[in-house]
Each structure stands twice: as C-alpha cells, then as structure tokens.
Chain A
C-alpha cells in the first residue's frame, strides 16, 4: 500500500478490523487465505535456500553459472518449496453488478470492498493473490503476486473498475482457466445471473485441478424480495430488455423463484464440495469473513 494514500475499497478502519483475521488458524489450515506454511523440502520457489554440487539428473538450468565462473565447479541453486496457496479472485464486473437499488454502493462496490479486503489479507499473510475482472469475458487479469505493490495495483484496478457488459460466468471461467498456473483458492464473487448448470460445468476443470472454490453470491434485498410497488417497466441492465409488470402481483412468485435459484446454486455447490455464501448487500461484507472462519 502506498503511504499516505487511502484506497476507496480498503480504508484504514477496515484494515484495522482485518487485523483480527490475521491469525485465523482455521483459514490457514484450510489453505484458504493461505498463510505461510513452508516445508523444508526444496522446491521451485523463488526464495533461495542453498547451493549444492551438481549431480546427475539435476536440471541444467539450475546451474549457477557465476559460481562456475569463479570456482570452475558446478553448483546448483536450491529454493525453499513454499506450500502457501494462491488466491484467485474472480470479480463479476458485468452490468448487473452495477445495481445499487438506490443505495450509495452498488453490488460491484460491495464486491470490490470484499475483494480488496480479501486481497489485503492474502498479501498480508504472505500469500499470493490474483484478480480477474470479468463480464462476458475476462476484462482485466492481474497475475498472482504477494507484494504490497501488487496489492496497490489490485486496489487501483478495483477503483477504476466499472460495470461492463452482460454476464457470462461460465465463459469467463473457461477463459480464465489457462491463466491460473497453480492450483489454489478460487473465489468467485458474482450475482450469478447465469444458468447454474453452465456455471458448475465451467468449474469442473478447476475442481479437477484441485482448486478450492468459494462462491460469493452478491444480491441486494430488492433482488431477493422485489419490494417495489406500482406497475413498473423493468429494464434489464445487461440486455436492455424491458418488461412491464405489477410487482405486487408477482412478488410472491418472484421471491419463490429467486429462492429456488439460490437453492439450486447451494445444492450444486454442496454436491461438488464448493463453498457457497449468500452476500446480501444490506449486511456488512465482514460477516462473510465470520462465516468463512466458522
């Protein structure tokens, strides 16, 4: 984080509150918000461990040619093999996420707050975090990183992010799949206005690679309960499609349909070992961390 500069989605008071999550052992144990968990085994990490003499079968690329120039002996460099996981945040930045229902914060703002806090926690605990902002495709991809500069970049990107086009979570996940080199934790923050079957079909590849997946379903109370009165022209924020309806007459059916959709997502998640959390924008996003800790 840059000194003296306050990021929109990560305020000092939030940072102070996030300090209480730093030592969350369950999170670390679960590999979520992966804290440092090093092994003494050598690996392909970036952190230098020691030199040893080259032996047959070693990768020639690991030979330190400077040492060879000075000593005329072949030594190879070994690195600490880190077990900390990578956290990949998929942030839905489609047009529907711009829905604010008259509040100051839209669903995208809410999701950005959560993403910023999550990224901060990940970086703070020495893990690496990536950010993919998508709508019907991956609009911005920030590769994994664990530095403060990386975190700053992510926060700046979140601030500059605007709601885009129509949502296609499944398409975005499929396109993001080759971008993630290592398995890790996949956090998808979206309103999930997509076909559940297609979403989980797109997640199948990640599950196969061993990703731990969390779905954060961001919805406003208005989307869940449809409290509007009077006949209204509903304009689809993604397709601009219009529909005239009397909310009072369809409220009950709509609420049931929306609950049905949530239930479908929840049941698909349970069957595939995916964590699902409903994030109502009228609740503070910190509650999500509470749930995750539990």
Chain B
C-alpha cells in the first residue's frame, strides 16, 4: 500500500497542514496579555466550561488539520496504491502472466469455465501495459510452455492467444511454470498468476523465484466448488481368469462440504451395472461390482457417475486383462523342488506353467507372469525379480537347503520324528476351503527338514508354524510398492516330506496361489493427460504400421516407433491425448491393445489453497489481487480527489456542527449561583 502525488511541485504545500497546529500552539501559548482586575470570575467560568471546551478544542484542531490536509492533498492530486506500486516510475514493466490451463480450470461457474475467466483476467493485465512494455503468457499445465520464447511487445498477439486457448485436462505443475517465468524476467519483473489455486497443486510450491520479482495472484473461482470424482479403480484379481468372478471396485470422492448421492455406472465388456451411493462430505466411498468375463482378452472397465459441474473426473477407465489361465513361473534353482512345483502348477487346470531363469543376467520375467515360485533361492533378489515384485507380482519362496545362511540354518530331523506343525492363523484365506474337513488336514504332513530360523519380515502373517513357533508358511502382504511374498518353509521333495503324496497339497497350493494373485493397477497401460500415449511390444517390428484410434474408430493421429533395449519396440502417439480409452490397431485394423488416459486425480479436489500458502509462493513480495482489472489500478493508482473533496466537505460540516453543538452545551451549563 502506498501513495503518490500527481502535482509533485505542490508538495511543499503539505506544510500548510501544520498551519492549524501552529496557530493553535502559538495563539494559545502567546496570546496578548491583558491586565484585568480579577480573573476569579473568568477562572470559574473557564473551569466550568473546560470539560466541554477542552475536548472540543482538540477535536476542532484535529478537524481543521484534516480540513487543511484534505484541501492540500486535493491540489496535490493524491493517488492511492492499495497493494503495491508497479515498477519504478519511468521504468518499463516486464510482465509474465501464468495462466492455469490444468484440468480443474474446466470447472463451469456462472456459465463459463474457470479457464475462460482466467484468460479474461489475463487480458486485463495485458491491457494495463502501455507503450513498449513487454509481456509473455505461460500456460501452466503438466508441461508449462510460453507463447513467446522471450518477453515480447506484441501484446495483441498474446491477447489473441488468450482468446483462442482452451482449457486442458492435464495436471498442474506450478514449479516449472514459475521457474520458466523467473528465467524470462530481468530484475524487478512482475509475475501474474491467474489460477484457481487448487490446494493440491499450489501448496508448498518452492520455485525459488528471485526476490526482486513481485508475484501477483489472481484467484479464479468460488471458494466452495463441490465436486464428485472417481479417483481410483481396483480390480481383484488384477489378472482374472475367464469365467472367474472379478471384483471391480471404484472410489468416489466427495470434495464438498455436504453429503451427496450419485449413481455409479459400470461398463465393462458386456457387463452393465449401476449402484446408488451416498457419500459424506469431504469423504470418499468405495463401490464394488462383481462380474465374470467369459473370454480372455483385454477389457476396458469404465466407471462413471452422474454428470456435475465438473464432468472431467466423472468417469475413469481401467484396463482389465482376462486370462485363459494364471501364468505361474517356476525357477529351477533347486531342480528337485522345482520339479514338484512344476507338477503342481501343471495339475492346476486354471494355471499355465512357465519356467524362468532368475539369474542376474537373465531377461526380465514376461509381463504376463503373475506369480513366481522360487526354488533354491538364497534370499537375494535379482534386479529383474525385484522390478517384478515392486510392480506388484507375487513371489512364492520355497525354502530348502540352498536357502540357508549364517543365521538361517538348514535343519533335518529323524524320519521317525518329523517336525510337528499347526495352523497359526485359521482365518487365512487359503484355509477357508479346509474348514469343512472334506479336503483333508493341512497340518498332517510329515516334515523332517526345515530352515531353523527363516528370515521373516516384521509385517508377515504366519499361517502355519512348527510346534517351536518356527514359521512354516507365512504371507507378507501387499504394499503400495511391492507385491505379496509367500514363504513356504516346508520341503516338498520326498526326501524330506510327504507333502506331494498328501491330498491336501494340491488344493492348498491352488488356494494359496489364487489368494495371492497380484492386484496390479495397470500402470503399464494407464496414462495421464500430457503424457504421450505409448505401447510396448516384443513381437511387432519397428516398421509396423500401428494406428491409435478411439473406441469408436476415429483415428487420433500419427504414431512413431522406436526400438528399445533388447527386442522391445515402443510405439508412441505423436500428440497428447484427452482422457479416454484408445485402441492400438494393426494394419488389418485388428485391436492389439488398449491405452487409457485418465483424468489426473490431483485436479479433482477444487479446494483452493489458503492465502497464507499463496503468500509463501515466492521469496519476494506476493500480492493478492481480486481481478485483472486491478492491474491498471495498481499501475495508475486510484485518484483520490473525489474522496478528498467529500472528506473536506464532511470535515467542514463537522466543524460547523461541533461549534454549533458546543454553543448549545455552553448555554445548557448551570449559571453562577446567587444568594
């Protein structure tokens, strides 16, 4: 907040403000002396009226000083800058306007999108520039870009760009945009940010802006913009087998301060289902549908809700791969054990056996492998297996003599005296089948060898344990950054156990494998707006003529291909795509795969960042502005002459009123008494 004056030459007249004070001081301090016979009467009267006159005198002095001040400032042409004064006088302004083009700016308010409002505000900022002052516009989305490579004086072009621009569906990356702006500006530049300032995007932004620059924030949109959004999709299992029941679950978030209801629609292949859901304020709810898919293949699973003011996040798609069978790979670290496990997998009607090499130099496990049974493994994951596990793949670790280490010794008991073991967790999912007893007793096997002190993760759940509490079978649950690990501390070879001859063995292994299938979230096929949609293939040559189309068959542009390391070929769309489901087609127009572009989750919650959070955007001054029209006001200031004139008249009136009232009070004072 600052002031300046239009008539600088009249500034000395500001001293006139002191006139009433000087008059007051000098007249009061050295009035002419008058010898009077007795001041007793005067004293009594003055004392009697002092309580009224004293405050009135001071008020009069203040009012008269105000009157002088108002009149002097009136002639000085006082100009008020309520927030900050732009640039130094006589210096051309340099302005970079950051216009938020992220998905949240598509929110419709008062008949237009926030983005349209933002462009209008940005145009107002441009209008505040004059002469050869330079400016630029930076679009803030997932990959911020500027209209001009550098600041330019062609503001008309920038305004045209603002008119032509459309809101995107990308996420917002303010840090990159601010850094870009900072690089464009010399000293004492202005960075104007026009955005809805979503808290999810603009909180804790550390852009390291030069402290010489001034940041101006123009918020767009109402404080409270209620929005329902589909934020997540989970499928269980991630790779279901044809004919198997599949749980399709979506999460609906209610980003508003009131309870809301909506209908959730599922469209997955031929399955069409819907459910009503009631979601509490500022909460989320999961809606689960159960269905089956008859045929193997990729099925886009699309969830949607009733349309609201912000339709972008009202639908979300996941790609579900229905498999003919579950792909289970067995490593042959211990050939004897591997042979047993291969027999078991081969005996499972819904499983397809693969044999893989887990040595460090071996290639990555195939993408369709869901579970790897590791034999003869010493506990150290190779990079490829770790990637598989981190991606969510399940590992079944069959411990044997090769798994021993300094702390975990291989222990063999006498044949006549096998290690007794028991069910430690009866509620474990694989044991549900055995509750009736029809499938035998899972703790009846005779085992004479084990790893005495196996390495078990702290968060593991022990399902079977030996009588001395040594874990026999345990499960390390899935986390956000790794899949399930099953520990099997029971030898399967005939030499050390009778498992392979037990009726419980096959169903137990089958239940364990089914219960431990990965919940992969399909990151390989999911993209967000701004990404270049790609498709990776091992079988297609680089010169394959792939096309990328919408599900309705409309082509969405050209596709480039490149060879990745190894034999993989990466096909990539040449343009960024809007949210939706896209299909990759070969030259025969057969669909060979899907890619899904989903609405960025961070854009769904429209709650704005607080003013304190915005104030911390830059290291320099951050000025909150209500609208772009204030830019002109910040530049030219607000002329205060009419206010000053009104103030002078008001003060004049008050002076008269005060004197008049003082007279009335004087008259109403009690008179000197008489005898």
Which residues on A are within 8 Å of B, measured CB to CB? 96-97, 99, 107, 191, 193, 196, 223, 228, 230-239, 241-245, 249-250, 252-254, 256-258, 260-261, 263-264, 267-268
User: Which residues of A have CB within 8 Å of B30?
Assistant: 233
The CA-CA distance from A233 to B672 in the complex, in Å, is 22
Q: Does B42 lie within 8 Å of A234, measured CB to CB?
A: yes
Contact partner of B39 among A97, A107, A236, A261, CB < 8 A? A236
> Is the CB of B90 closer than 8 A to any CB of chain A?
no
Contact among A96, A107, A235 with B33 in the assembled complex (CB-CB below 8 Å): A235
B565 within 8 A of A: no
Verify B39–A260 contact, CB threshold 8 A: no
Instruction: Report which of A97, A244, A256 forms a contact with B28, defined as CB distance below 8 A.
Output: A244
- Nearest B residue (CB) for A223: B37
Specify which chain B residues have a CB less than 8 angstroms from the CB of A254 in the assembled complex. Answer: 41-42, 45
Interface string of B657-675 (1 = CB under 8 A from A): 0000000001101011111
Q: A185 to chain B: closest CB distance in Å?
A: 25
6 further A-B pairs in the complex, CB-CB below 8 A; given A233-B32, A236-B37, A263-B675:
A99-B36, A232-B34, A239-B39, A243-B42, A260-B673, A267-B675
Inter-chain CA distance A267–B33, complex, in Å, is: 34
Q: Is the CB of B672 within 8 A of A237?
A: no
Find out whether the CB atom of A250 lies under 8 angstroms from the CB atom of B42.
Answer: yes
Beta-carbon contact of B37 and A243 below 8 Å:
no
In the complex, which of the residues B39, B48, B669 contacts A234, with contact meaning CB atoms closer than 8 Å? B39
- List B contacts of A99 (CB < 8 A): 35-37
CA distance A232 to B46 in the complex (A): 13
Contact of A193 among B32, B40, B53, B671 (CB under 8 A): B40
Cα–Cα distance between A115 and B38 once the two chains are bound (Å): 23
Q: How far is the CA of A236 from the CA of B41 in the complex (A)?
A: 11
| Interfacial residues, chain B to chain A (CB-CB below 8 A) | 27-28, 30-46, 48-49, 53, 666-667, 669, 671-675
Contacts of A237 in B (CB 8 A): 35-38
B27 touches A231 (CB 8 A): yes
Contact between B41 and A96, CB atoms less than 8 A apart: no
A106 to chain B, nearest CB (A): 10
> Is there contact, CB below 8 Å, between A231 and B31?
yes
A-B contact pairs, 21 of them (CB 8 A): A96-B37, A97-B37, A230-B31, A231-B27, A232-B31, A232-B33, A234-B33, A234-B36, A234-B39, A234-B42, A235-B34, A237-B38, A241-B43, A244-B28, A245-B46, A249-B53, A253-B48, A253-B669, A254-B42, A257-B44, A263-B674
Are the C-beta atoms of B41 and A264 separated by less than 8 Å? no
Do A264 and B674 contact each other (CB < 8 Å), given the known contacts A244-B31, A254-B41, A254-B45? Answer: yes
Shortest Cβ distance from residue B508 to the other chain A in the assembled complex, whole angstroms: 111
Select from chain A the residue with minimum beta-carbon distance to B675: A264
Nearest chain-B residue to A191 (Cβ)? B37
Which residue of the partner chain B has the closest CB to A241?
A: B39
Minimum CB distance partner of A94 in chain B: B37
A243 to B33 Cα, complex, angstroms: 9
- A257 near B32 with CB under 8 A, answer no
Decide if B32 touches A230 in the complex (CB within 8 Å). yes
Contacts of B666 in A (CB 8 A): 249, 252-253
- A238: chain B residues within 8 A (beta carbon): 37-38
Q: Which residues on the A side are within 8 Å of B36 (C-beta)?
A: 99, 223, 234-237
Q: What B residues does A256 contact at CB under 8 A? A: 671-672
Give the shortest distance, in Å, between A10 (CB) and chain B (any CB): 25
The 8 Å CB contact of A243, one of B28, B39, B48, B49, is B39
Tell me whether A250 and B37 are in contact in the complex, defined as CB-CB below 8 angstroms, given that A233-B31, A264-B675, A267-B675 are known contacts: no
**Chain A residues whose CB sits within 8 angstroms of the CB of B46 once the complex forms:** 243, 245, 250
Pairs A-B, 4 closest by C-beta atoms: A96-B37, A257-B672, A193-B38, A260-B672
Q: Which residues from chain B contact A243 at a C-beta distance below 8 Å?
A: 39, 42-43, 46
In angstroms, Cα B92 to Cα A190, docked, is 85
Asked if A245 and B38 make an inter-chain contact with CB atoms under 8 angstroms apart, the answer reads no
Give Cα distance in the complex from A196 to B40, angstroms. Answer: 14
Q: Which residue of A lies closest to B57 (CB)?
A: A246
CA distance A253 to B27 in the complex (A): 22
Taken together as a complex, chains A and B put the C-alpha atoms of A222 and B675 apart, in Å, by: 24
Give, as a whole number of angstroms, the nearest-CB distance from B45 to chain A.
5
What is the CB-to-nearest-CB distance from B416 to chain A, in angstroms, rounded to a whole number? 125
Task: Give B55 Cβ to nearest chain A Cβ, in Å.
Answer: 14
With a CB–CB cut-off of 8 A, which chain B residues contact A235? 33-36, 39
A96 touches B38 (CB 8 A): yes
Among the interface residues A97, A258, A260, which one has the most CB atoms of the partner chain B within 10 A? A260
Which residues of B are found within 8 Å of A223, using beta-carbon distances? 36-37
* Distance A267 CA – B35 CA, assembled complex (angstroms): 29
User: Could you tell me the distance between the alpha carbons of A264 and B675 in the complex, rounded to whole angstroms?
Assistant: 6
Contact of B42 among A107, A245, A252, A263 (CB under 8 A): A245
The interface residues of chain B lying within 8 Å CB-to-CB of A242 are 33, 39
B33–A260 CB distance below 8 A: no
In angstroms, how far is the closest chain B Cβ from the Cβ of A108? 11
Contacts of B43 in A (CB 8 A): 241, 243
- What residues on A are CB-neighbors of B674 within 8 Å? 260, 263-264, 267
Which residues does chain B contribute within 8 Å of A260, judged by CB atoms?
A: 671-674
Contact A231 B37 (CB under 8 A): no
Contacts of B667 in A (CB 8 A): 252
Q: Which residues of B contact A257 (CB under 8 A)?
A: 41, 44-45, 671-672
CB contacts (< 8 Å) of B672 on chain A: these are 253, 256-257, 260-261
Min distance, Cβ B458 to any Cβ of chain A, angstroms: 90
Output the residue of A96, A223, A245 with the most chain B CB within 10 A.
A245
Min C-beta distance of A234 to chain B, whole Å: 5
